[in-house]
Structure 1
Amino acid sequence: MTDVPPYTAAVVVDDGTTIAWHRWEPDAGVDAHPVPVVLQHGFAADTMVDWLVPGTVAGLTAAGRRVVGIDARGHGRSAKSPDATRYGERRMAEDLLAVVARLDAPAVDLVGYSMGAVVALLAAARCTAVRRLVVGGVGAGIVEVGGVDTRTLPGDRLARALLTGEAEDADVAGMVAFASTRGNDLPSLAAQARAVHRDGIDLAAITAETLVIAGDADPLAVRPQVLADAITGARLGVVRGGHDVIGSNPDFRSAILEFLRG
C-alpha cells in the first residue's frame, strides 16, 4: 500500500556518491509478480514527485508489482555536488544498474521519464536483464542530438538560468520555475545541465520490449515516432498534454500500467 512509507536505502557507488532508492511491496492480498519495476524520474524532480504523487506507484503495487524508485544524483535524497564532472545520464545509468544489482531479480521492467528516459535507454542498451522498457517525455532528440532535446532546452542556458535566476526564453524559464519551487539544490541541477548527454545511444542494442510515450504538445518530445522507429519492435503511445503529462494526465499512467501488464 502506498500510504505506508517506502523502504528507503542507499548505495555508495564507485565514485563515492551516495544514491538513494525507495522500495514499495505489492499490495496485500494481490498475487505478487516476480519482476520488479524500476522507476527513474526526470530533471529537477525525484521519485516522489514524478512517480508516487501522480499515482503510478499505487497503480503498480495494486497490480502486484514490487516497485523501486531511484533518486538520481543531485536530486531527491541522493548526494549533491556542484561539480559537472560527477554528472551526466551515462553516469546516472551506472548508478541505476548498481541499484538493480542489489535487487536479486533475474529481470526488471524499467520506466524512465525525460532525463530519466535517457538514463533508462542507456541502461537498457547495456543490460539484457531489462525485460520491458518504457521511455516517456522524449522523442526525435534522442536520435538526432543524442539525448534530451537541447535544441529546445540548451544545457548551457539552463545552467546559467538556474544559477542567476535570469532565463533567456520561455522553455528555460519554465524549467527554472519548476526546479525552484521544489527546494532543489540549484548548483547541482546546473551541474547536470552542463553535463547533459550528447553522445548518442546504441538503440540497436536494446533487447527489451519497448514503449515510447509522449505528450502531443511536449516541446521536448517532438516526433516521438522517430525514436520508436529506431528501437526494434518498439510501440508508440501519444497522450494529450505537454511535458507535464507525467503528473497531469492519467492516460499517461494508464498506458504504462497496461504495457507492463503485457
Structure 2
Amino acid sequence: MTITTLNGVTLAYDDIAPPGGAQRTVLLLHGFASNRAEGWKRTGWYTAFERRGTRVIALDQRGHGESVKSHDPADYGRQNLAADALALLDHLGVGRCDVFGYSMGTRTAMQLALDAPDRVSNLVLGGVGGKLFDPPRPGAAEAMAQAMGTDDPETIENDFLKSFRHFADEQGEDRKALAASSAAVSPPLDRAALGRLPMPVLVVAGARDDLAGDPAELAAVFPYGKGKSLPGCDHFSAIPHGALKAAVLDFLDGIPDEDDFPPFE
C-alpha cells in the first residue's frame, strides 16, 4: 500500500505486479462505502488477476478507505474522481490499461474514458444497467446522506439504505465523508459522448440487481458494448461471485460468450 498526494489530495492505492512481469494492467474502481481492500482484495479479484499475469492498480476513491476524507460535497464531483484516477496512472507511468469500475466506480470509469479515451483499452462497468440514465429519485441523495449521518442505524426505515449504512460501519468508513460524497452534484453523463467511445465495453450486473436494471440496455449505448446478466446475483452478491469473475476475465481475454454464437439449427 502507498499513500501519496496526487491531483491536490491524498490518495491511497495498491500497485501489484505479478511475478515474472505483467502481460497487461487493470485499474480497479470500487463502489460507494467500499474501498480497495474490501471491494477487490477480499473478494478475490487481486488473486484472479495475478493468476492471469495482470498488474493490478486499485485506489481508495476520495472519502473512502485510507484516502482523503473531505466533508464538503463540492470535493466529490465525478470529474474530480476521474482526475484522481488519471493522475494515479500518470504517476505510475501507465499509458493505457483496462479499467473496471463497480457501482459508483462505473461512473468514475466512464468519466475517465470520456476525458481520456486513448488511455482505456477495455472498459468494464459492473453493477449498472439501463437505470443509469433514469432521473434521480427526488430526495434520494438526501436520504442516503441522512442514513450515513444518523447515530442509530436502526432508525433507518429503508432496507436498501440500511444495508449501505451497515456496510459502511463494517468497513469503519468515515460516515460524514460518505454523506458528503452522496450529496455531491455532477452533470449528467453525456449519452451521445458515451456513444462515441472507441473501446470495447462490458456492462454486467446481477439479474436480481434492482438498482442496476438491464445491462444490455446500457450496453446498447456504446458502439462496441456488450451486456451480461448474472443469474441469481444482486447488487451486493455479484462482486465476489465467480460468475462475475468469469464474465469479466473472459471479456478481457477476448473469449466469446455463449450468447455470441448463432443458435444451432
CA distance, structure 2, for counterparts of residue 248 and residue 191 of structure 1:
27
Alpha-carbon offset, residue 89 of structure 1: 2.3
| Sequence identity percentage | 32
The more displaced of 124-133 and 194-203 is 194-203
Q: Which residue is 1:121 aligned to?
A: 110
Paired residues for 1:29-178 under 5 Å: 32-33=22-23, 35-127=24-116, 128-145=118-135, 150-151=136-137, 154-164=140-150, 165=153, 166-178=155-167
Q: Which residue is 2:253 aligned to?
A: 261
Over aligned residues, Cα RMSD in angstroms?
Answer: 1.9
Question: Could you say what secondary structure the match of 1:95 adopts?
Answer: helix
Q: Which residue is 1:17 aligned to?
A: 9
Question: Could you say what secondary structure the match of 1:66 adopts?
Answer: strand
Alpha-carbon offset, residue 171 of structure 1: 1.4
Which residue identity is paired with 2:22?
A
Which residue identity is paired with 2:144?
L
CA distance, structure 2, for counterparts of residue 59 and residue 143 of structure 1:
31
TM-score under structure 2 length normalisation: 0.87
CA distance, structure 2, for counterparts of residue 238 and residue 141 of structure 1:
14
CA distance, structure 1, for counterparts of residue 43 and residue 17 of structure 2:
18
Rg larger for: 2
Q: CA, structure 1 residues 97+205, in 2 after alignment: closer, same or farther (shift >3 Å)?
A: farther
For each residue in 1:226-250, what CA deviation from the matched residue of structure 2 results, as whole angstroms up to 9, or x when unmatched?
2101111101111131111344421
CA distance, structure 1, for counterparts of residue 68 and residue 228 of structure 2:
34
Q: Is the 8 A contact 1:157 1:167 kept in 2?
A: no
Q: CA, structure 1 residues 203+131, in 2 after alignment: closer, same or farther (shift >3 Å)?
A: same
Match of 1:235 among 226, 235, 238: 226
**Runs of 5+ unmatched residues, structure 1:** 1-7
CA distance, structure 2, for counterparts of residue 25 and residue 153 of structure 1:
43
Which residue identity is paired with 1:143?
F
Aligned residue pairs: how many? 247
TM-score under structure 1 length normalisation: 0.88
